[in-house]
Structure 1
Amino acid sequence: MSETTLLQNGLVVNGTGKAGYRADVLIEGETIAQIGAVDPAAAERIIDCAGLVVAPGFIDVHTHDDAIVLDAPAMRPKISQGITTVIVGNCGISLAPVVTRTPIEPLGLLGTQRFCFARLAEYAAAVDAAQPAINVAALIGHTSLRAAVMPSFEHAATADERARMAQQLRLAMDDGAVGLSSGVFYANAFAADERELIEVAAAAAQAGGVYATHIRTEFDGILEAMEEAARTARHGGLPLILSHHKCAGPANWGRTGETLARMDRLATRQPIGLDVYPYTAGSTVLREDLVDGIIDIIITGSEPHPEMIGKRLSDIAAQWGVSQQEACRRLLPGGACYFQMSEEDMQRVLAHPRSMIGSDGLPHDVHPHPRLWGTFPRVLGHYSRDLGLLRLESAVFKMTGLPAAQFRLGQRGTLAAGHPADVTVFDAQRIRDRATFAEPEQISEGVRHVFVNGALSYEEDAAMPADYPRNGRFLRRVEV
């Protein structure tokens, strides 16, 4: 599928955070063979990268792409952003190890048709068989573990249930999982106590995994929720990653100075990272408790009223002559975008040296949040180039070298001879997101070429036939 390719005269930004430099990059098969001055005679194909940035392929650390990589393996929303690897299984939600036709909330965010993998090894085999355009690494969801072993979810797990969840997680780690995720924000995991979380997490620690968590609340009680997450990771023996860090709700705007300071203090005792998306709206299931009558809410899905998808909840309520809470009840079950963060807070998190970039898009939404299509170009274009919030090299580091180290993806995430040839070439002066809340399914501009395991898998403005090379695979945690 791949050939010898010379990326000539580009600005190499190698994913370490260090300053970029002019050089050629030679790709042979699936590997970066040489960086420096390369004889053009060594290459079958030469791509002139003058005026372009040559970077490692981007790693999307927070996705819910578990099923879509099987159902739509071309993965246009991601590869068109320069993403070459996604981390699935976030927020406590993973396909394995659940076998059911009726997934509990919030597992349905992954769709309902693919809960057929009793072990991660089966899911990994399905990924390799589908051969998506991008690589896939997997967390195992705590809510999924609960669904696999618990008959009801209104209580903390018993000793036997904790042991069975831990055993399931150990099997998944043997199959190559990168760690455990939790989503105790959601109803079917909310009853889990610290003992349950710690004992399950410890099963991932023994294999060198991470603990990524959608904490119990991102509203008023956020500091206490962060402390709980930190205790879980510390006593479980894992590095902690705070998912989509934010201070939600107008009453909490401005508090990221406080939460990031708390995180920095906790980081003196234990390893901590976080991820962030560059928008002031989140997206999840439609919930009445998130409807406050103040923030804007856009409906992304509604089973009983699909005609309302894409509309604001306030407009729907006015049309129906009811309160927003009543309109929400009538729309259930469904999904929504919630404009619950401040721009100042989001930028503060984005600029923090520990933050990584994660899109957190929901690919099964009928009218998805634009972050599904635009996250990475938005960071590089709007926030790095236009606003100067981040140096180019720092922005790339948050997308490449930092997440590769955090999630133990080995030599991916940096450009060096001998490393896997996941490479993104982009125009730093042109790159920008085009996806909007009104029209979210828009391909970004400025991503010129994307290589996945050495195969040229995306080119801007090129006709992309169905048989365009798809060279992704399931990535197992790298032992160190």
Structure 2
Amino acid sequence: MTLIHGGRVVDPDTGTDAVLDLLIDGDRVLASAPRIAPPAGATAVDANGLLVLPGFVDMHTHSDFTLGYHPAAPARIHQGVTTDVTGNCGFSPFPLPRGCVGFGSFFSSRVEAGWADLDSYAADLESRRPALNVAPLVGLGAVREHVVGSRPAPPDAGEADAMRRLVERSLEQGAFGVSTGLVYAPGRFALADEIRAVLAPVHRSRRLYATHLRDERDGLAESVAEAIATAEGAGVALQISHHKALGKANWGRTKDTLAMVDEANARGITEVAVDYYPYTSGSTGVSSLLPPGSLDGGWAGLRERAAGGAARRDLLRHLDTSSQFRTDEIIIGRSRTRPDVSGLPLTAIADADGRAPAETLLGLILDEGDRLTMIVPAASEDDLASVSAHPAAMHGSDGWLMTAGEARHEHPRNLGSTIAVLAPALLGRTSLDRAVRHLSTAPARRLGLAGRGTLRPGAYADIVIADPGRAAAGAAALPADTYPDLVRWVFVNGLPVLADARLTGRRPGRVLRAS
């Protein structure tokens, strides 16, 4: 047994905000009271002056591509994350054919080949003993890759049936829902009718449909309308991933799109929610800047077109004038072929190369393929405030990296997204109740994670203990390769994985299954 005594317990699920003791027995919270006598042999954790919270459930991650290779997951544990929701944006490492190499590679994936189904993926991950829980979605991009491959054409009737069967099997094995990434290949080839047809098993299981919208810039409203219409047509709950309005010309448009969410929820046909990360910058694969159709023939075809002539000029013109971000807005992530340029602005790299920015950019894309990421301007502060204040909102980091070393030169959400939500609340800048709901209660309820996202007796003992005295430092920008220290203790399934801000070496995480 473990007794956490004297901490301020904040649990929006039960409406609790009081100084209490918590008693853990096995993997569950046994009791909660103002004073609990220490049972014989119980381990005591002094939480006086500290904040005791339900473990954080990160609604949007891609750690299914990296957690198996860094199962201690220090970047997640130091943020208080006890459950990662994976399989987002259409990407999951199952169901994929064994020969499928490189799928999801811009998540720094070390997955050499996919798994046939959720059961085989879960068995492999649990054999590696992760430190935190995983709640998997199945990516419809992976489903399409399995059946149709990289072909941009719609599936025929037989292929559509095969895709539905793969989704149904994933849900039977406990996937919490499905996801699409409608800006990434092969997901961007899927039209609304195809998606609705494949969602039929999701409707029957009453699970979730999460989507990275088809367009977060000029076509934002149309993309939100498409997502809502798809969900309503299929009769499924909708999660709009990392909702924002890209590009200065579109700032302020979340007022309209959030009104669309409200209208859909008022109709009652589907339940729509959104998640957000607490940054105005974003990150994605650099190859997403290529013109539509550039990779339809694979990387060999792209390299052939980029070799010279009119096709190369068209590529450069698009990168220079027509891609979704200007060349002077791009910061390059961690480069494997040119480590010296990692974390630098593209324009600075181009100046050093003595080349035009578009030429340097195309060279990096050709050298690195899908693996190279970039950090780019995304939303406005006002849009971020509007989305994060919305009643249907919750936090989702969009992170994927497990260690500070890997996260160097990558987006700061990998190391500090939950802290950037919690620290301002501890400083009185935002509501603490809202912060804890967004980090824990709302995503747990959204997924139907019974016994998680709460500290009520009988719940799983996923617990975060944070030090409000460290909030000011937590609210500041972290050095690029530093773990935050606002979170002092983390319990996963009743065992301490972080104690006095140090990893304990225990790895009691599980692959959770929807019921």
Counterpart for residue 26 of structure 2? 29
TM-score, normalised to structure 1, is: 0.93
Secondary structure of 1:126's counterpart equals helix
Secondary structure of 1:443's counterpart equals coil
Counterpart for residue 413 of structure 2? 371
Segment drifting more, 428-437 vs 318-327: 428-437
Structure 1 residue 15: Cα displacement: 3.6
Tell me if 1:248 matches 2:289: no
Query: CA separation of 1:366/1:386 partners in 2, compared to 1, >3 Å: closer, same or farther?
Result: closer
Secondary structure of 1:376's counterpart equals helix
Contact 1:94/1:107 (<8 A) preserved: no
Contact 1:446/1:460 (<8 A) preserved: no
Counterpart for residue 319 of structure 1? 352
Structure with higher Rg: it is 2
Structure 1 residue 403: Cα displacement: 0.6
Contact 1:291/1:325 (<8 A) preserved: no
Counterpart for residue 8 of structure 1? 5
Tell me if 1:396 matches 2:436: yes
Contact 1:356/1:403 (<8 A) preserved: yes
Q: Deviations over 1:243-298 (max 9, x none)?
A: 00000011111222222122111221220111110111111100335454376321
Say which of 341, 345, 365 aligns to 2:379.
341
Work out the CA distance in 2 between the residues paired with 1:87 and 1:251: 32
Contact 2:58/2:439 (<8 A) preserved: yes
Work out the CA distance in 2 between the residues paired with 1:99 and 1:368: 30
Counterpart for residue 273 of structure 1? 273
Query: CA separation of 1:435/1:387 partners in 2, compared to 1, >3 Å: closer, same or farther?
Result: closer
Work out the CA distance in 2 between the residues paired with 1:91 and 1:141: 7
Tell me if 1:446 matches 2:447: no
Query: CA separation of 1:96/1:353 partners in 2, compared to 1, >3 Å: closer, same or farther?
Result: same
Counterpart for residue 285 of structure 1? 285
Contact 2:461/2:491 (<8 A) preserved: yes
Secondary structure of 1:360's counterpart equals coil
Query: CA separation of 1:360/1:433 partners in 2, compared to 1, >3 Å: closer, same or farther?
Result: farther
Contact 1:374/1:434 (<8 A) preserved: no
Contact 1:131/1:471 (<8 A) preserved: yes
Say which of 120, 123, 148 aligns to 2:121.
123
Q: Following superposition, which runs of at least 4 residues in structure 1 exceed 4 angstroms of deviation?
A: 104-108, 434-437
Say which of 424, 427, 448 aligns to 2:467.
427
Gaps of 5+ in 2: 291-322
Q: How many residue pairs end up in the alignment?
A: 469
Structure 1 residue 67: Cα displacement: 2.7
Secondary structure of 1:136's counterpart equals strand
Secondary structure of 1:368's counterpart equals coil
Segment drifting more, 87-96 vs 148-157: 148-157
Q: Deviations over 1:86-134 (max 9, x none)?
A: 0010000000001345546645535153433101100111122111000
Counterpart for residue 362 of structure 1? 400
Secondary structure of 1:41's counterpart equals coil
Contact 1:434/1:443 (<8 A) preserved: no
Structure number with the higher helix fraction is 2
Counterpart for residue 471 of structure 1? 508
Contact 1:52/1:426 (<8 A) preserved: yes
Contact 2:90/2:179 (<8 A) preserved: yes
Structure 1 residue 162: Cα displacement: 1.4
Work out the CA distance in 2 between the residues paired with 1:435 and 1:330: 35
Identity of aligned residues (%): 35
Q: Deviations over 1:5-41 (max 9, x none)?
A: 1111111111427351111100011110000021123
Tell me if 1:308 matches 2:341: yes
Structure 1 residue 387: Cα displacement: 6.0
Query: CA separation of 1:434/1:394 partners in 2, compared to 1, >3 Å: closer, same or farther?
Result: closer
Query: CA separation of 1:253/1:451 partners in 2, compared to 1, >3 Å: closer, same or farther?
Result: same
Secondary structure of 1:78's counterpart equals helix
Work out the CA distance in 2 between the residues paired with 1:275 and 1:109: 19
Task: Return the letter of the residue paired with 2:329.
Answer: D
Task: Return the letter of the residue paired with 1:184.
Answer: L
Contact 2:66/2:400 (<8 A) preserved: no
Q: Deviations over 1:206-253 (max 9, x none)?
A: 112100000101001101101111111111121100000000011111
Work out the CA distance in 2 between the residues paired with 1:327 and 1:241: 37
Counterpart for residue 319 of structure 2? none
Tell me if 1:264 matches 2:246: no
Counterpart for residue 222 of structure 1? 220
Query: CA separation of 1:149/1:436 partners in 2, compared to 1, >3 Å: closer, same or farther?
Result: farther
Contact 2:150/2:185 (<8 A) preserved: no
Counterpart for residue 88 of structure 2? 90
Work out the CA distance in 1 between the residues paired with 2:245 and 2:477: 23
Work out the CA distance in 2 between the residues paired with 1:278 and 1:58: 15
Query: CA separation of 1:350/1:43 partners in 2, compared to 1, >3 Å: closer, same or farther?
Result: farther
Contact 1:15/1:415 (<8 A) preserved: no
Counterpart for residue 294 of structure 2? none
Contact 1:101/1:113 (<8 A) preserved: no
Contact 2:101/2:112 (<8 A) preserved: no
Query: CA separation of 1:100/1:365 partners in 2, compared to 1, >3 Å: closer, same or farther?
Result: farther
Query: CA separation of 1:404/1:147 partners in 2, compared to 1, >3 Å: closer, same or farther?
Result: same
Task: Return the letter of the residue paired with 1:356.
Answer: M
TM-score, normalised to structure 2, is: 0.87
Q: Deviations over 1:382-414 (max 9, x none)?
A: 3x234623x111110111111111112111111
Secondary structure of 2:127's counterpart equals helix
Secondary structure of 1:91's counterpart equals coil
Task: Return the letter of the residue paired with 1:288.
Answer: L
Segment drifting more, 254-263 vs 418-427: 254-263
Counterpart for residue 315 of structure 2? none
Secondary structure of 1:469's counterpart equals coil
